[in-house]
């Protein structure tokens, strides 16, 4: 989306001293070689359009009053982010002409107030949290975002190790940042939403920036193979192998979902009840079953956990109600190293995790990189 600047600009002839938004000329001073153009003036400047300063017949030496960047040849300068709605600004530009003459001019203006506002309702991960290498940045807004490209450009993620990533819109209130490959472990990540003054919809602007930082912890990548009945756990390069039993498949909901999952939470004890209707065909109904060392991987109720007895199935046969069961030793090891955002890749089952109906499932790694970019307002065609 191209940002259009106001058609009317204030033009300043550069002379020694400082002007108050008017062209200045004094008899006997001689011709002025440099001219500065400042795009913002008056009382109703749109905050999302920012300010542009250009110089002809010379180069810009400094611009104050807002945060911005010079062009490579220093003949122009532009604000980096949008301006705060309903605020007064004074932008001062200093330039030097070809003969070395330095002059300064200023423009004062006020941005329009925001008729309606939009903000950030939540950011995941939490501030200061240590997470796994698959963890996305999930941003939820307080209202619908129509101008997605505007908002997406204002969202900044900085990786200490330079990991590549992109945003993808899940809905008009949620956008998610995922890396192309898993994060490098043991690094700091900073997220900033430069939302102040950004036009998110008609007559709707952001009024506050939001900053979060978190840490990528150890690299925990687990592959649970429903065919071999083993899972391999790669913890920062140390690989351990444990016997498992996945979903028996007597009904559709007892097939463990296939694909890349993310760990969501862990609890020492979880009480579980069957999702199938008691007495229905193929339903092995249970209620109030206490399961230990449970690490959740889906909204629908799949966990990696310690097997409740029936250890003879581990490494031999799929007999669970849909979870990944493992041995006491395997469950303890997996539970102790688990952090939100670890990778659990379940393979060789017939029920796709990508097809699950729960809107809040973290299915972000079930998409290819090309599919992910297609959901970006800047890199592809964002979904409605």
SS3 3: coil
| pLDDT of amino acid 284 | 64
Residue 356 CB burial class (10 angstroms; 0-12, 13-18, ≥19): middle
- Distance separating alpha carbons of residues 116 and 255, to the nearest angstrom: 47
| pLDDT of amino acid 66 | 93
- Domains, the chain, in order of start with CATH, read 35-111 (2.60.40.3780), 116-217 (2.60.40.3710), 220-363 (2.40.440.10)
Q: Active site includes 305?
A: yes
Considering only CA atoms, which of 203, 106, 195 is closest in space to residue 146? 203
| pLDDT of amino acid 19 | 37
| pLDDT of amino acid 321 | 87
47 contacts: CB under 8 Å, gap ≥ 6: 82, 83, 84, 85, 87, 111, 112, 114, 196, 197, 199, 205
Provide the phi-psi class of 348: left if phi over 0, else alpha when psi is between -120 and 50, else beta.
Answer: left
- Distance separating alpha carbons of residues 180 and 167, to the nearest angstrom: 11
| pLDDT of amino acid 103 | 82
Location of structure tokens 């975002």: 145
Location of structure tokens 């204030």: 10
- Distance separating alpha carbons of residues 184 and 177, to the nearest angstrom: 15
| pLDDT of amino acid 279 | 57
Could you give the count of Cα atoms lying within 13 Å of 94 in the half-sphere of its Cβ?
9
pTM for the structure as a whole: 0.86
CB 379 within 8 A of CB 178: no
Q: Active site includes 323?
A: yes
- Ranges of the chain with pLDDT below 50: 1-31, 382-384
Give the largest CA-CA distance in the chain. 102
- Distance separating alpha carbons of residues 118 and 378, to the nearest angstrom: 20
SS3 240: strand
Positive or negative, the CA dihedral 252, 255, 260, 266 is positive
Find the catalytic residue in 194, 261, 276, 323.
323
Find the catalytic residue in 194, 229, 261, 305.
305
Considering only CA atoms, which of 170, 207, 214 is closest in space to residue 191? 214
Read off the tokens for 57: 């017949």
CB 86 within 8 A of CB 112: yes
| pLDDT of amino acid 42 | 87
What residues does 95 pair with on adjacent strands?
60, 103
Location of structure tokens 């000329």: 25
- Distance separating alpha carbons of residues 86 and 89, to the nearest angstrom: 10
């Amino acid at each position: 989306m191209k940002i259009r600047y106001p058609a009317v600009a204030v033009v300043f002839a550069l002379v020694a001293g400082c002007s108050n938004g008017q062209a200045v000329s004094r008899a006997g001073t001689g011709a002025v070689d440099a001219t500065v153009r400042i795009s913002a003036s008056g009382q109703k400047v749109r905050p999302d359009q920012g300010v542009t300063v250009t110089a002809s017949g010379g180069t810009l030496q400094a611009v104050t009053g807002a945060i911005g960047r010079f062009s490579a040849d220093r003949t122009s300068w532009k604000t980096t982010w949008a301006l705060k709605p309903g605020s007064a600004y004074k932008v001062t530009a200093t330039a030097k002409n070809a003969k070395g003459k330095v002059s300064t001019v200023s423009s004062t203006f006020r941005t329009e107030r925001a008729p309606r506002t939009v903000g950030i309702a939540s950011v995941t991960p939490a501030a200061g949290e240590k997470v796994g290498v698959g963890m996305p940045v999930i941003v939820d807004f307080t209202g619908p975002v129509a101008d997605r490209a505007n908002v997406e450009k204002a969202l900044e993620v900085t990786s200490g190790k330079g990991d590549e990533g992109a945003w993808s819109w899940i809905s008009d209130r949620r956008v998610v940042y995922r890396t192309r490959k898993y994060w490098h472990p043991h690094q700091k990540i900073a997220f900033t939403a430069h939302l102040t003054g950004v036009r998110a919809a008609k007559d709707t602007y952001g009024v506050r920036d939001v900053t979060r930082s978190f840490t990528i912890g150890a690299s925990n990548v687990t592959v649970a193979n429903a065919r071999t009945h083993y899972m391999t756990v790669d913890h920062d390069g140390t690989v351990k192998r444990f016997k498992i039993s996945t979903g028996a498949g007597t009904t559709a909901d007892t097939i463990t979902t296939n694909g890349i999952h993310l760990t969501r939470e862990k609890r020492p004890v979880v009480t579980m009840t069957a999702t199938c209707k008691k007495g229905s065909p193929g339903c092995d109904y249970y209620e109030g079953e206490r399961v230990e060392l449970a690490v959740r991987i889906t909204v629908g109720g799949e966990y990696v956990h310690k097997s409740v007895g029936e250890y003879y199935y581990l490494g031999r046969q799929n007999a669970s109600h849909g979870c990944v069961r493992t041995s006491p030793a395997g469950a303890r090891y997996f539970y102790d190293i688990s952090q939100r955002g670890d990778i659990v890749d379940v393979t060789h089952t017939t029920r796709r995790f990508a097809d699950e109906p729960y809107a809040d499932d973290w299915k972000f790694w079930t998409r290819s990189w090309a599919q992910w970019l297609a959901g970006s307002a800047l890199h592809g065609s964002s979904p409605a």
